């Protein structure tokens, strides 16, 4: 297991704050380090940029890392904070593991605060087991950023000028909740036996367009790079929510080469009949890759999906098993 550091809010560990334990790990660390994060609520905004670290909690309902920065917050220079400076925790390294911990952005409803990232993950071979990732809009960002923003200053943040390197991420038995594009980014990311819960935030999408009135959320917004073999794969996940029937999309393309696949997932009745949205970019229909295989439940409507969605055969689905995607 290597070196072990103990963080406890009540003072009976090596440190009271996770930030202090992270500082104790040397730059260029090459040994396995486990940080045991004892039960408690840790209000900390963190950057983890050293490899081979494992964060181990007492249970996702007991060990909670939380903060409340949000995109519409004004900075000292009078500019808005923007999406990519809101994260509670930034993982900017490789070979990182988290187990039994909650990562939360507690800023609240996106209609009031805008985007608010709980967990920003960049780098390769980063894994999360039995964790909760909680927020509303843009809960989980799976870096890297796309090459260029749509708007000036759109990527302002710690990794705005970092190299765009596609990394692999794994999420097992995690609970991820949000409302708008709450899993988004460019990584190759595999989600296995996770629960994706869409929060009802009815006033989030006011519109005079009658065709848009019954949209309560979008689960994914992939920005897969052109030529990248895999984007998001969800295998045997549970999709829940407290939104109305037929009101939540499985995904929409943040960038035109978005790739997202759902395999043998249970889809609640909140999932839209057509399943997928083109983000009003008709050209993306020819370049994105959206596919499903043997999904079930009231939200699984394979014959009524949007025309640009592929229904996989059994043989095709084998290409999206974990060993193919991550190794």
The DSSP code for 160 is: T
- Residue 138 designated active-site: yes
How far apart are the C-alpha atoms of 16 and 22, rounded to whole Å?
Answer: 12
Pair 258, 251: CB distance under 8 Å: yes
CB 162 within 8 A of CB 205: no
In the β-sheet with 46-48, what is the strand arrangement from edge to edge? Answer: 46-48, 89-92, 119-122, 140-142, 180-185, 217-222, 248-251
Would residue 181 show up in a list of annotated catalytic residues for this protein?
yes
Active site residue: 181, 201, 203, 278, which one? 181
Give me the DSSP letters along 273-307.
SS-B--TT-GGGGGT-EEEEES-BSTT--GGGS-T
**Distances in whole angstroms, Cα of residue 243 to Cα of each of 178, 218, 240, 305:** 11, 11, 9, 19
φ/ψ region of 49 (left if φ > 0, alpha if ψ in -120 to 50, else beta) reads alpha
With contact defined as beta carbons under 8 Å apart, do 95 and 125 qualify?
yes
Which residue is catalytic, options 49, 122, 138, 201? Answer: 138
DSSP states of 2-32 = -EEEEE-TTS-SSBSSHHHHHHTSPTT--S-
Question: Which of the residues are catalytic?
Answer: 138, 181
């Amino acid at each position: 297991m290597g070196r072990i550091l103990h963080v406890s809010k009540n003072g009976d560990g090596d440190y009271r704050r996770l930030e202090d334990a992270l500082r104790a790990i040397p730059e260029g660390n090459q040994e396995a380090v486990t940080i045991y994060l004892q039960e408690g609520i840790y209000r900390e905004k963190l950057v983890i940029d050293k490899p081979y670290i494992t964060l181990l909690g007492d249970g996702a309902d007991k060990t909670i890392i939380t903060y409340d920065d949000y995109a519409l917050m004004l900075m000292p220079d009078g500019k808005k904070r923007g999406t990519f400076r809101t994260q509670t925790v930034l993982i900017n390294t490789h070979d990182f593991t988290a187990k039994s911990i909650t990562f939360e952005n507690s800023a609240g409803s996106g209609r009031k605060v805008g985007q608010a990232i709980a967990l920003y993950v960049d780098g390769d071979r980063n894994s999360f087991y039995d964790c909760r990732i909680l927020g509303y809009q843009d809960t989980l960002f799976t870096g890297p950023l796309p090459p260029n923003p749509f708007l000036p200053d759109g990527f302002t943040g710690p990794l705005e000028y970092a190299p765009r390197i596609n990394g692999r991420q794994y999420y097992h038995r995690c609970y991820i909740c949000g409302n708008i594009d709450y899993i988004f980014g460019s990584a190759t990311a595999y989600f296995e036996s996770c629960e994706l819960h869409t929060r009802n935030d009815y006033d989030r999408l006011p519109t005079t367009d009658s065709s848009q009135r019954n949209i309560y959320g979008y689960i994914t917004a992939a920005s897969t790079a052109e030529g990248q073999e895999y984007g998001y794969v969800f295998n045997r996940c549970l999709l829940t929510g407290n939104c109305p029937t037929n009101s939540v999309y499985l995904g929409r393309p943040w960038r035109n080469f978005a790739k997202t696949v759902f395999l043998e997932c249970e889809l609640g009745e909140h999932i839209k009949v057509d399943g997928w949205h083109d983000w009003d970019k008709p050209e993306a229909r020819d370049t994105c890759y959206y596919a499903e295989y043997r999904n079930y439940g009231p939200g699984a409507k394979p014959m009524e999906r949007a025309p640009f969605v592929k229904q996989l055969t059994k043989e095709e689905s084998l290409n999206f098993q974990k060993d193919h995607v991550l190794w």
